[in-house]
Amino acid sequence: MEQKTSAPSGHANGSADPSAPAQSGVGTTGHSWDGIEELNNPLPRWWLWTFYACIVWAVGYWFVYPAIPLVSSYTKGFLGWQSRAQIEVDMAELKAMRSGMTTKIEATELADIEKNPELLSFARAQGSAAFAVNCAPCHGAGAQGFKGYPNLNDDDWIWGGKAEDILTTIKHGVRWEQDSNTRSGVMPSFGRDGILNRKEIATVADYVLSLSGLAVDKGADLAAGKTLYAANCAACHGDAGAGNQEMGAPNLSDKVWLYGSDKAAIMERITLGGGGVMPAWSNRLDAATMKSLAVYVHTLGGGK
C-alpha cells in the first residue's frame, strides 16, 4: 500500500503508461491484476540464445536421424542410423573383443582349461558373471543353495561332479521336459500314489536316518525299515544308500540333505517323490559361456 501510493505516475489505478519506468526503472507489460503489475524485463541473453540454439539443434535432428512419419514409410535421416543396426554393430564388437579368449575356451577340453592359468582365470571370470545373472536366483549368490536347490560348493553331487557332468547338466537341465537330452529320473510318489502307507513311510524314514548315523526315534523298527528300503528304495539309492548319479538318486548315507535331515522332511520327500527341476541352458547361453560356467562351478571347491 505504502509503495503503491508513493509510486510515480499513478500506478495504483492500473492504467499507467507501460513505457514509463516504475521504481525499478523497467517498463511494465501493461498487465494489471488487482493493481499488481508485471515488469517487462527482457529474458537473459544467455538463456535466450541457448533456447534458439536448441531449436536449431532440434531441426538438425530431423534431417540427420529418422524422424517424420510419412504415408508408407518415414524420413530415414542423412546418417541412416537405426537402433537395431547399431545393436548389431555393438554386439559384433563385443564378440570380436572376446573372441580371442572365447574361441580358445570353445576349442579346449574342460580339463585343459583348468590346467591353463590364463584360460582358467578368464573362464572363472566369465563363469562368475554368468552365474550371477542366471544361476544365483536358485543356487544362491555364493552357490550355497537353498532348500530344494543344491549347494554347489560341497562335494556332494546328485548328477555327477566332474566338469563334464556339470556341463551336461547346464546344457540339458534336470527333468526339463523341453530338452530331449535332459537328465531324468523321478522318484515315485510313495505316499500320494499309495505305494506305502503312512506307517511304512515313517518306518523307512527311520531307517534312512540311520543310514547316515542320524538319531532315530526310540523304538524305531529298523529291521522292518531295512526290508521296506530294500524293496522300494535300494534299486536307485543303493543297498547302503550311496545313491546313483546316473539316475540322480542322492546319496542318503552322507550328511548333506537337500530338503532337510529331520524325519518330517524325509517323510515328505518319500510321500511326494519327484525331484528338483533345472532349466536347460543351451538355448539361452552360448557354448563358451556354458563351458566357463562348468569350469566356474567345478572349481568352486567341490568339483570331482
Partner 1 sequence: MSDTHTTSGGKTSVWTKHQVFEKNSIFLLIGILVMISIGGLVEIVPLFYLKSTIEKVEGVRPLTPLELAGRNIYVREGCYNCHSQMIRPLRDEVERYGHYSLAAESMYDHPFQWGSKRTGPDIARVGGKYSDDWHRDHLRNPRSVVPASIMPSYPWLETTALDTSHIDMDMRVLAIEGVPYTKEMIESAASDVKTQGAAEDSLTAPFLKRYPKAITRESGGVQGRLTEADALIAYLQQLGTQVDFKLYDDKANIR
CB closer to partner 1 out of 123 and 278: 278
Q: If you count them, how many residues does the chain have?
A: 304
Q: What is the radius of gyration, based on Cα positions, of the chain?
A: 37
Choose between 42 and 194: whose C-beta lies nearer to partner 1.
Answer: 42
**In the complex with partner 1, which residue's Cβ is closer, 58 or 141?**
141
Q: Which residues bind partner 1 (CB under 8 A)?
A: 17-19, 27, 29-30, 40, 42, 68-69, 72-74, 82-88, 90-91, 94, 133-134, 136-138, 140-141, 146-149, 176-178, 276-279, 283-284
How far apart CA 304 and CA 301 sit, in angstroms, is 9
Nearer to partner 1, 108 or 257 (CB): 257
DSSP states along 67-118: --B-SSSB---TT---HHHHHHHHHHHHHHHHHHHHHHHHHS-HHHHHHSHH
Q: Which is nearer to partner 1, 162 or 175 (CB)?
A: 175
Residue 101: all three cell numbers together: 579368449
CB of 291 to partner 1, least distance (A): 18
Could you give the 3-state DSSP secondary structure of residue 5?
A: helix
Which of 141, 136, 138, 175 lies closest to 159, judged by CA? Answer: 175
Cβ 50 to partner 1 shortest distance, Å? 17
Report, in Å, the least distance between residue 211 CB and partner 1.
26
Q: Provide, rounded to whole angstroms, the least separation between the CB of residue 206 and partner 1.
A: 27
**Which residues are paired to 261 by β-bridges?**
none
| Minimum distance, C-beta of residue 148 to partner 1, in the bound complex (Å) | 7
